Amino acid sequence: MAHFRIPGPLRRLSNGEITVEVGARDLGGAIEALDARYPGFKDRLLDDSGELRQFVNVYLNDEDVRLGSGLKAPVSDKDEISIVPAVAGGLFRKI
Amino acid sequence: MPKLLGLRCRECGTEYELQATHVCEMCFGPLDAVYDYAALKKKVTRQSIESGPKSIWRYRDLLPVDDTTPVVTLGEGFTPLVKADRLGEELGLKNLYVKNDSMNPTNSFKDRVVSVAISWARSQGFETMACASTGNLANAVAAYSARAGLDCYVFIPIDLEPAKVVSIGVFDPNLIAVHGTYDDVNRLCSQLLESTPWAFCNINIRPFYAEGSKTLTFETAEQLGWKLPDEIIIPVASGCQFVRHRQAVRELIDFGLVRGDKPPALTGAQALGCAPVYNAFHSDQPERVMPVKPNTIARSIAIGNPSDGIYVNRIARETGGTVEAVTEDEIVDAMRLLARTEGIFTETAGGVTIGVLSKLAKAGRWRGDEVIVAYVTGHGLKTADVLASRNGHGRRVEIDPTMKSFREMVQI
């Protein structure tokens, strides 16, 4: 099982849990699994078009997933997925 | 009567009480300080400002620190606004100014934001200051923490310029050199702040810290005789100060401090070796700033994942500005150009600003009579190694201490 690290502002969604284990093949699947267990995460992490929101940084084993395969990044056992709020975010919106 | 009402999310408008936090719990948007503008409008005038100290604290009414709070100051701000006639002549610009912010106590713009941040944090009972930094911020945080007698932890990328590391270390902070880029350092600090009681200047107390940036534009307007310029060239790292300059312009206009009500075009400058905001600005999705791995000599602005990048693009577009980027050689050429024409030695980030100014001027962006201000935000000695390794002494000769040797070697 891979596990998510949940940041303070989102722990209300995870009933206070700091780490949450999920089984999935890729990051997109992991977010689906997280949302199935604690509903609300998908909405916070993904925008209307299903992409990662601009103001949320997701790191797979300390690598920014946007520098790699994004939501298609393969996830395996013992991987750590960290959700970190951008220092000062910005909602992804089309002009 | 407190002038600060609270914090408000820039995206969804959710309001929060004053506290050391920087992200909206609802949408993760950034939080901004909210002032009681109605009360301030009755109080703030040109005269009230002009009677203040010759530092950023003359604008205290427009900063998030109460009148009774003792401030932590080293005399930051009120740096020279230099009419750059010789540089202007080379670029075909008759009304060009350089705001030389390398003349701050620790030789960079960061003294403005740190003086405000530490004054606020100390008044709230914080005992330890911290930051994630590309160098200049760590320098300022270390110096101002020493001045205030507060503990200090600064986090920097391990490959920082040697001069910067020395000028941070002398203040005796806890200096944490991280194997990684600034973005790695920033992520680590974002995670650390949940388990430490520290005030991270550019993270959890960012809404207060950021406000100090406004003073650069307040001063520029005041030094121009309470007028706004036509365009300002601003280096872009996280984009934090760019956003505050827009706010400063709004306040100058709303408070009736300047003549006219036309905001200047705000133009961003990046190094091509780390240009996520520039890349997005010129793409078909300017609202999607994709992170990059920085690779540039302009390390003080080498942020690959800029938090305020989309706001830079919005503001540049809204004000009629642009975002431009320059190569490594253009950065060095611009550092030399500014030094040769105006006697101002700036670091690589200033080379980015002047490089972009030069590039846009040569591309015919301006008629030539516009009032243009370039923000030069750090001193050249911070990145002297860049010039030293690139034949920094083109006209140097070695001679014996004799008249004969001088006549042989030097043409006058």
Mutation target vs A (from B24, B27, B28, B274; most A CBs, 10 A cutoff): B28
For residue A28, tell me if it sits in a domain.
yes
Contact A59 B28 (CB under 8 A): no
Residue A94 has what pLDDT?
Answer: 27
Residue A91 has what pLDDT?
Answer: 30
pLDDT tens digit string along B243-285? 999 999 999 999 999 998 999 999 999 999 999 999 999 999 9
Contact residues, chain B to chain A, C-beta under 8 Å: 10-12, 22-25, 27-30, 183-184, 186-187, 190-191, 194, 202-203, 206, 210, 238, 240, 286-293, 305, 307-311, 314
For residue A34, tell me if it sits in a domain.
yes
Apex B213 CA angle, B208 and B219, nearest 5: 130
Domain count for chain A: 1
Q: Are residues B102 and B8 in the same domain?
A: no
The pLDDT mean for chain B works out to 95
Contact B206 A54 (CB under 8 A): no
- Does ipTM top 0.90? no
Beta bridge partners of B81: B99
For residue A75, tell me if it sits in a domain.
yes
Domain count for chain B: 2
Residue B368: CB atoms within 10 Å: 14
Question: What CA–CA distance (Å, rounded) separates A30 from B64?
Answer: 42
Mutation target vs B (from A87, A91, A93, A94; most B CBs, 10 A cutoff): A87
For residue B89, tell me if it sits in a domain.
yes
Contact B307 A89 (CB under 8 A): yes
Note the pTM of the prediction, 2 decimals: 0.91
Spatial CB neighbours of B172, under 8 Å, sequence gap ≥ 6: B142, B146
Contact B187 A84 (CB under 8 A): yes
Q: Are residues B100 and B5 in the same domain?
A: no
pLDDT tens digit string along B55-88? 999 999 999 999 999 999 999 999 999 999 999 9
Domain residue limits at B30: 1-42
Q: Are residues B217 and B314 in the same domain?
A: yes
Contact B183 A54 (CB under 8 A): no
DSSP symbol at B295 = -
Query: Nearest CA to B204 among A52, A59, A55, A85?
Result: A85
Residue B83: CB atoms within 10 Å: 13
For residue B361, tell me if it sits in a domain.
yes
For residue A91, tell me if it sits in a domain.
no
For residue B320, tell me if it sits in a domain.
yes
Contact A91 B30 (CB under 8 A): no
- Mean pLDDT of the region A80-93: 61
Instruction: Indicate whether B2 pLDDT > 90.
Output: no
For residue B237, tell me if it sits in a domain.
yes
For residue A54, tell me if it sits in a domain.
yes
Task: List the CATH number of the domain containing A44.
Answer: 3.10.20.30
Contact A66 B311 (CB under 8 A): no
> CA-nearest residue of chain A to B317?
A95
Radius of gyration of chain B (CA): 21
Residue B319 has what pLDDT?
Answer: 98
For residue B358, tell me if it sits in a domain.
yes
Nearest to A64 among B11, B291, B311 (CB): B291
Q: A57 contacts in B (CB within 8 Å)?
A: 187, 305
Spatial CB neighbours of B245, under 8 Å, sequence gap ≥ 6: B213, B214, B216, B217, B232, B234, B266
For residue A95, tell me if it sits in a domain.
no
Query: Nearest CA to B237 among B294, B322, B160?
Result: B294
For residue B121, tell me if it sits in a domain.
no
Domain residue limits at A42: 2-85
- Mean pLDDT of the region B151-166: 93
pLDDT tens digit string along A39-78? 999 988 998 889 888 778 899 998 889 888 899 999 998 9
pLDDT tens digit string along A11-27? 888 999 999 999 999 99
Contact A67 B291 (CB under 8 A): yes
Task: List the CATH number of the domain containing B233.
Answer: 3.40.50.1100
For residue B372, tell me if it sits in a domain.
yes
Question: What CA–CA distance (Å, rounded) separates A88 from B256?
Answer: 30
At B221, which amino acid appears? A
For residue B115, tell me if it sits in a domain.
no
pLDDT tens digit string along B10-49? 988 999 999 998 888 777 888 999 999 999 999 999 999 9
Question: What CA–CA distance (Å, rounded) separates A56 from B343?
Answer: 44
Question: What CA–CA distance (Å, rounded) separates B250 from B262?
Answer: 10
For residue A58, tell me if it sits in a domain.
yes
Q: Are residues B36 and B97 in the same domain?
A: no
